[in-house]
Amino acid sequence: MRITLENVNHSVTGFACSNGTVDTAINASFLPNAAKQIGIQKICINEETVGYHIFTIGTISVNNIPNTDPNKCDFGSYGNKYAAFIVKYLAIGREHQGKEYGTKAMTAILQFFLKFCSLLPIRYIAIEALPECAAWYEEIGFLKTLAKTSEDCVIMYYDAIEEDRAKELKERFSN
């Protein structure tokens, strides 16, 4: 089974997962919202589109990350905030759910972002998770922050840079 992430450069229509809000965001994502989003990628398994994810770049407050000592390693920090890739939506089509495609997709998404995190001052990968999906994201390696969105989503994060690597990158970008 081969999974790929491909940039979407056209309007998406007719996509349906189990969440109407996400369906609307995916189906209306490219043309009207292109300037607001960093990207939308389709998720393909063996060249068949099975879902989409929308991401942007933002920040996570240090105050919302449990057990974080901002003095220990501040690579990727801007005051009391850390730079983060933020997965706004991850959606697998209804007909493809229950086949572990979401897990495979999230693994591919993490690998995609980790490449950039090793080169740029971006420390975290975050997701706005539905409360009923939080345990699934924890199985993948995400941790809960102390924050929630106005839609009662759980903000979760994945620390993309180990401390030794963060110190090395901080020195490189400081010069």
Write the pLDDT tens digit of every residue in 91-145. Answer: 999 999 999 999 989 988 888 888 877 777 788 899 988 888 899 999 988 998 8
Give CA 53 to chain center in angstroms. Answer: 8
Task: Report d(CA 93, CA 49) in Å as an integer.
Answer: 9
DSSP-based three-state secondary structure for 104: helix
pLDDT for residue 33: 45
pLDDT for residue 27: 62
Do residues 104 and 45 lie in contact, with contact meaning Cβ atoms separated by under 8 Å? yes
pLDDT per residue as tens digits for the range 39-51: 788 899 888 999 9
Residue 38 pLDDT > 90? no
Do residues 53 and 87 lie in contact, with contact meaning Cβ atoms separated by under 8 Å? yes
**pLDDT > 70 in the chain, percent:** 64
Task: Report d(CA 48, CA 37) in Å as an integer.
Answer: 24
- DSSP H helices, the chain, are 20-27, 30-33, 101-117, 134-140, 163-174
What is the Rg, in whole angstroms, of the alpha carbon atoms belonging to the chain? 16
Give CA 62 to chain center in angstroms. Answer: 18
Do residues 60 and 126 lie in contact, with contact meaning Cβ atoms separated by under 8 Å? yes
Residue 73 pLDDT > 60? no
- Give the alpha-carbon dihedral of 32, 158, 169, 6, to 10 degrees: -40
- DSSP H helices, 28-158, are 30-33, 101-117, 134-140
**Domains plus CATH for the chain?**
3-174 (3.40.630.30)
